[in-house]
Structure 1
Amino acid sequence: MSTSSVARIPGSDRTARWVRADRDRLIHPNLPSGLTERTVMVEGQGCYVRDSSGRRYLDAAAVLGMMQVGHGRGEIVQAAAAQLGTLECFHLWESMSNDKAIELAVRLGDLAPTGLDRVFFTSGGAEGNEIALRMARFFHHRRGEPERTWILSRKTAYHGIAYGAGSVSGLPVYHEGFGPSLPHVHHLTAPDPYQGVGYEGEDVTEFCLRELRETIERIGPDRIAAMIGEPVMSVGGAVVPPPDYWPRVAELLDAHGILLIFDEVVTAYGRTGHWFAAEHFGVRPDLLVTAKGITSGYVPHGAVLVTEEVASAVTAANGFPIGFTYTGHPTACAVALANLDLIEREKLLDNATATGGHLADRLAALSELPVVGEVRQIGLMLGVELVADKTTRTQLPTGTAPVAQALREDAGIILRGNPRSLLINPPLVLNRAEADELADGLHAVLARVDPDGRVRP
């Protein structure tokens, strides 16, 4: 049955047919094979979405951490429609270009930390990290150091599911059963002050810096191309590192000629209260990968910002030999420009700081609950660590999935979690009343969670 014919079927029958067609046809990421339920979303406005049965939910995940300006923004629809009616698609291969790609590149260079003036467009975060990894190795190759192939990453990191991006991701699920990963990748200990596991009683930054120095010495500084890291680990649990961690890492890498890649796929475009989290930590990476919030998810798009030094090396001679079909897609660039206009005009960076602070104040009371170990916050990026025991800080035996499900079903709140933490990344347009609704719903559900992970009725 076609989508148009399904759309003409009323109410519950339409939902049932959509659900049946979904089960028969779609392959979902991270969906257990025995789970037959589906929630079919059909509408969104502001911080809310509505499913095919008419129920409204607070989208506390901003879809997947990308809906900065909220759902249903007519300004973005108009920008896309205007571009589709003018020049819907073109490419940036060789000497070809288009006006919207040029305008967006200039805009991003103006917003980025000083020195990140050059732009390579992609269609998303995993593509961006692939490009950054390739550029890092190619940079050293072009400068006469082809033996610099090693990439340093961190345990529990997430950089996407493409081959290279998945290889530098530190979560086991992206390695088990998929065959060999990219060679010459080493995963370091991530700075996680709450867990404090594996630091041998040492200061978190001191431990991580010592491990980094020893790793550089063991591999050889002249064999390492780059280190990649999320300024704030998102999928890892909204883990905010100590303030001295990134400045000291950047200084050590620079001393050995090792490039620093910041994966800001989640943190860029206002999520932390800054255009880029690099500003918060006072660090200028050599390559900065963005996606998600660049268009608020209205269309797929991404951008890798690089220094002139890196750009000049990788584009010398015959140029950088890698590109995508949709690199610099003019409609995606037009949407990004309209999205950035909204973020700037509506002062959403300020709102991320103010409303994020208010939400953190409201969620502080969660720490009194037996299963809440810690609430972390930077801007409108928060993590709620759930524990079976506050003394040992062990995670719930069931993980956080049952809690996230209860939040959706009982409180009408959509968010995501990892085995340890609930991840809260609402749209940057979230207001105080919506933040209070989110806080009230979280408290009502988490107060019913037992140390074994079960949610009481």
Structure 2
Amino acid sequence: MTHTVGSAVDTAAMTALDSAHVIHPHRLARHSETIVMVRGEGSRVWDTEGREYLDGTAGLALTQVGHGRPELAAAAERQMRQLDYYPSFWEYSNPRAIELATRLIELAPGDLTKVFFTSGGSDGVEAAIRMARLYHYQRGATGRTVILSRRGAYHGVGYGSGSLTGFADYHVGFSPMLPDVQHLTPPWAYRRELFDGHDPTDFCLRELERTIEEIGPGRIAAFVGEPVMGVAGMVTPPDDYWSRAEALLRAHGILLVADEVICGYGRTGHWFASERYDITPDIMVTAKGLTSGYFPLGAVLVSGAVAEQLDLGPDGFPIGYTYTGHPTGCAVALANLDVIERENLVRRAAELGRSLLAALAPLADLPVVGEVRGAGLMIALELVRDTAAGTAVGANIARYVREEHGIIVRPHETVVSISPPLVLTDAEADRLVAALRDALTRVGPDGTVRR
């Protein structure tokens, strides 16, 4: 299904230069093709050949308001003409950073009172690790350095954030990683083999309690977790998981850090997924949907109790990024939040997420589909593994859907996930469901998609 749009870009020249000079994250050597995107509008993007694609992933689960929004471009231009950039180090600030911090605190759940701006999610998790350890250090608990994470978690690619990320292939060739990090079992209910026949929440909480006892509660600084585990495959926890985990952490004085880099800003049908699961994090890391990807910006929201400890050192909170509080980035974020509020996109994500789940649910009857799950517009189809064939079923499905239907979805190891812009139309949602249905009904016993 090809739709043409005029383009003056020389595809062959661009792909040759790309091959010569650009390193692509996670690009497999066997994938020699390059698709060069040149334009976006709403939930669609176009490549140099003029082919239209429905962006079923919102880029990397972040283009909440869709592509090509003139309001965001205008906000960037206005700010660049007035004050393009100035650092927020030391005693300096700017109006847009102040306005954005104030607005985020008004939106945030619980007792989050201050904001530290970053360049993105990995930077935010790095800052959160330092904040958690510094909080305990300033209170005299200098031995509290251990950070708890989970297998299958994704928290970024920095030294600390990459260490928290719970995928072994993220650590290969980069060891040693950050010391004092412990990975626990994720609440991935579909993977029954993880829980030795027990209830997933009961198993995870017993493991957490046992880990706290073995390490010693006086050595653990924080537990870092995604409310919904995005890169693992939109893993939604059992309803009682977060409330019980939070209570156990509180009992031992362990800080709760919510990684809402993917989940935040309406993605789950709430402003923040912490609201969805009724948790009150001490630190909340956000990025992605904060600007819908129009500018690299992140924001770490901090509780009053934590914030008051961060400025007690001789140099205050002793880290910062060149683009912390970037006035243009903050202006874009404010315009983005305006669009989300004005167009009721948080409610739209909740409603469309429910309808998409209902439409996709019958696909669980297919031999290749084990589960359909989701929270708002974080939706995944867990594929039944074919360990004998060892075929990359998810990758085959994603490639087929892109080539035959002009739709981009994301393959994980044994999962196909969708995280479309919150502005996805009903017709586009129907097109997405139809394409996945077509692909999944064509999967053969060897994991390939019959054409």
TM-score range, shorter chain: over 0.9
Q: Please give the residue correspondences for 1:197-236 in structure 2 after superposition, counting only pairs within 5 Å.
A: 197-236=193-232
| Aligned pair partner of 1:447 in 429, 433, 441 | 441
- What is the SS of the residue equivalent to 2:435? helix
- 1:272, 1:380 within 8 Å by CA — same for their partners in 2? yes
Structure 1: state its 5+ residue gaps.
Answer: 1-9
Match status 1:429 vs 2:423: yes
The match for 1:327 is 324
The match for 2:166 is 170
- 2:9, 2:48 within 8 Å by CA — same for their partners in 1? no
- 1:149, 1:184 within 8 Å by CA — same for their partners in 2? yes
The match for 2:3 is none
| Aligned pair partner of 1:32 in 28, 33, 39 | 28
The match for 2:114 is 118
- Once residues 388 and 312 of structure 1 are traced to their aligned partners in structure 2, the CA distance between those partners, rounded to angstroms, is 49
1:61-82 Cα distance to aligned partner (Å, 9 max, x none): 0000000000000000110000
- 2:389, 2:447 within 8 Å by CA — same for their partners in 1? no
- Once residues 315 and 28 of structure 1 are traced to their aligned partners in structure 2, the CA distance between those partners, rounded to angstroms, is 39
| Aligned pair partner of 1:87 in 73, 83, 88 | 83
The match for 1:5 is none
Shift of residue 97, structure 1, vs aligned partner: 0.4
Match status 1:252 vs 2:248: yes
- Once residues 396 and 61 of structure 1 are traced to their aligned partners in structure 2, the CA distance between those partners, rounded to angstroms, is 25
- Once residues 280 and 117 of structure 2 are traced to their aligned partners in structure 1, the CA distance between those partners, rounded to angstroms, is 20
Q: Please give the residue correspondences for 1:42-441 in structure 2 after superposition, counting only pairs within 5 Å.
A: 42-318=38-314, 319-388=316-385, 397-441=391-435
- Once residues 175 and 13 of structure 1 are traced to their aligned partners in structure 2, the CA distance between those partners, rounded to angstroms, is 38
Cα gap change, 1:178 to 1:366, in 2 (>3 Å): same
- Paired residues in the alignment total 445
The match for 1:23 is 19
- Once residues 213 and 384 of structure 1 are traced to their aligned partners in structure 2, the CA distance between those partners, rounded to angstroms, is 31
- 2:274, 2:280 within 8 Å by CA — same for their partners in 1? yes
1:272-329 Cα distance to aligned partner (Å, 9 max, x none): 1100000000000100000000000001000000101101001124310010100000
- Once residues 103 and 389 of structure 2 are traced to their aligned partners in structure 1, the CA distance between those partners, rounded to angstroms, is 43
1:117-163 Cα distance to aligned partner (Å, 9 max, x none): 11000010000000000100111111111110000000010000011
- 1:129, 1:160 within 8 Å by CA — same for their partners in 2? yes
- 1:61, 1:426 within 8 Å by CA — same for their partners in 2? yes
- Once residues 64 and 13 of structure 1 are traced to their aligned partners in structure 2, the CA distance between those partners, rounded to angstroms, is 24
Structure 2: state its 5+ residue gaps.
Answer: 1-5
- Once residues 209 and 111 of structure 1 are traced to their aligned partners in structure 2, the CA distance between those partners, rounded to angstroms, is 30
Q: What is the identity percentage for the equivalent residue pairs of Structure 1 and Structure 2? A: 53
Shift of residue 395, structure 1, vs aligned partner: 9.9
- Once residues 135 and 97 of structure 1 are traced to their aligned partners in structure 2, the CA distance between those partners, rounded to angstroms, is 21
- Once residues 281 and 148 of structure 1 are traced to their aligned partners in structure 2, the CA distance between those partners, rounded to angstroms, is 27
- What is the SS of the residue equivalent to 1:117? strand
1:24-47 Cα distance to aligned partner (Å, 9 max, x none): 111111112232211110000000
- Alpha carbon RMSD of aligned pairs, Å? 1.4
1:172-199 Cα distance to aligned partner (Å, 9 max, x none): 1111111201001000000011111221
- 2:110, 2:281 within 8 Å by CA — same for their partners in 1? no
- 1:265, 1:289 within 8 Å by CA — same for their partners in 2? yes
Shift of residue 210, structure 1, vs aligned partner: 0.2
Shift of residue 362, structure 1, vs aligned partner: 1.1
Cα gap change, 1:37 to 1:91, in 2 (>3 Å): same
- Once residues 445 and 298 of structure 2 are traced to their aligned partners in structure 1, the CA distance between those partners, rounded to angstroms, is 41
Shift of residue 11, structure 1, vs aligned partner: 6.1
Shift of residue 399, structure 1, vs aligned partner: 4.3
Cα gap change, 1:394 to 1:242, in 2 (>3 Å): farther
- 2:224, 2:256 within 8 Å by CA — same for their partners in 1? yes
- 2:389, 2:446 within 8 Å by CA — same for their partners in 1? no
Greater mean deviation of Cα atoms: 128-137 or 440-449: 440-449
Greater mean deviation of Cα atoms: 195-204 or 79-88: 195-204
